[in-house]
Amino acid sequence: MQRIKTLLVTVVTCLLLSVPVAQASTNVELESMTYDYLLRLEAEGLIRSGMLTIRPLSRREVARLVLEADRNAAGRGPHLRRIIEYLKERYRAEIEGARYIKPLNTLYARAVYADTNEFSKVLNYNNTGDVYARGPNFRSGFTSNAELGFFSFYVNPEFRYSDGNMNLLLKRVYGTFEFLGLALELGKDSQWWGPGYHGAMLFSDNPEPIPMIRLGNPKPAALPWIFRYLGTFRFTTFLAEMESERAFPEPFFWGIRFALKPSSYLDLGIERTFFLGGRGEDEDFSAWYKTMVFENGYDVPADGHDVPNDQHVAADVKLTMPFRWQPLQLYGELAAEDIARNITIKGGYLAGVYLPRIFGLDSVDLRGEYARSRRILYRHNIYRSGYTYKGRLIGHHMGGDATDLFVSTSVYGAGDTKYTFYYDREKKGLTRSTPQESQEFVLALRRKVSERTSVSFKSGYENIRNTGYIAGNDTDAILVELSFESAW
């Protein structure tokens, strides 16, 4: 990261000396229930300008969307009004445009008992790279943030206990500088790209946050000139240097995503990521140019003039139909993978449907999502660690050569209260003679017990058939989690 930090210091210094600054804002954590509420308001047609396929959102962007929903909520049911009032209270400081320093923003603790094996995934994915050991596990931490006008800062230290080992780490830490409608961020925070809820093809919060430089426009902007007829857009791009403990050490990891909203109820997106170079490999302008124009380095020739890189591309669509009698959203994502100097669409896909309420049941939702990946997805013969960071997949947690079926229903109560049941069936090693299949059943309860504090309980059971791709080797896994969170 030293080369990246040097570049960032130079860029920020120039910006401070040459351009006006704006009100910077920290992000809303991906695991926050805020996103569930925003998705509900969007599916109901109350949020029309939001672009939720690039997450996290800044706190000030969330505040803007809450006010938009409030303006459009006339004549709607009491459940939607409760959601809006809860969010208005939660983001009051951002709605009022306040500057503040919060040494203690949230405080949380989580106790987990796991009876699992190395092939189990029950409740152990899309969790910022955390891995629960067999037996008791404990997590405790707090978040602190500051919004100072020209600069915002966020830090999240966490204490972890698993398998007799104790660790103190910085789970998330970053600073944001905003100028000319753009936000420049240095540090580590999770990202989620695309309309998927249970998984994302190219970028999810399955791995721990990756240290990076990130640039984007936190608020949708209108396209200029004749392109204004295409609607509004958001983009985000990042640059990271990956860890040294991998088969091809310290490659650059770069990505960019564009999201376009040609109408209030249609979201389009396209994204691209790649690994480039690494220890001892060319990383000069020529190497970057060859990679940008899709000149793949799938096989390095004997003369060494090729440029090692591993490329991925994806496109997605989300259609919102806010019918009063039954609103719904349909969405899909298609991923492409490089192979033998070409990009093939035979990478994978994801499709889903979301009903924010079921006919007259305002507080009950239903979601179904299916994903399929080819064997080549997330693999590479040069970058042999694959599409991972510290051993965890950056994209969909199912991995390559797999399918994943997810069905969930939730019941929402007042404020920060939610009851969820979901079923997940994952099949891995589809091209093997004996695929491994797992079925997961999860019950999750979250209830507000005081003005500031919520308590959560999760219980998951998983049955794995042909564990380790061995016929007849069936195993079970259980995980129980109890946690609390207090907002200050």
pLDDT digits (tens, 9 = 90+) for 341-399: 555 667 899 999 999 999 888 999 999 999 999 998 998 888 889 999 999 999 999 99
Pairing label, strands 342-355, 328-339: antiparallel
**CB under 8 Å to 217, separation ≥6 — which residues?**
181, 182, 183, 233, 234, 235
Domain boundaries, the chain: 2-100+150-360+368-398
The pLDDT value recorded for residue 2 is 56
Average pLDDT of the residues in 53-77: 96
Q: Please report, for residues 5, 202, 377, 394, the alpha-carbon distance to residue 190 in angstroms, rounded to integers and kept in the order given.
A: 19, 13, 21, 10
Q: Please report, for residues 121, 334, 430, 438, the alpha-carbon distance to residue 398 in angstroms, rounded to integers and kept in the order given.
A: 9, 15, 12, 11
Q: What is the pTM of this model?
A: 0.92
CATH number of 2-100+150-360+368-398: 2.40.160.130
- CA separation for the pair 4, 10 (Å, rounded): 10
> What does the H/E/C string look like for 354-376?
EECCECCECCEEEEEEEEEECCC
Average pLDDT of the residues in 432-455: 93
pLDDT digits (tens, 9 = 90+) for 366-382: 999 999 999 989 988 88
The pLDDT value recorded for residue 360 is 81
Q: What is the mean pLDDT of the chain?
A: 90
pLDDT digits (tens, 9 = 90+) for 129-144: 999 999 999 999 999 9
**CB under 8 Å to 300, separation ≥6 — which residues?**
306, 308, 382
The pLDDT value recorded for residue 474 is 95
Range list of β-strands (E), 121-223: 135-147, 151-162, 165-179, 182-188, 192-193, 212-216, 221-222
- Token pair for 163: 């398998």
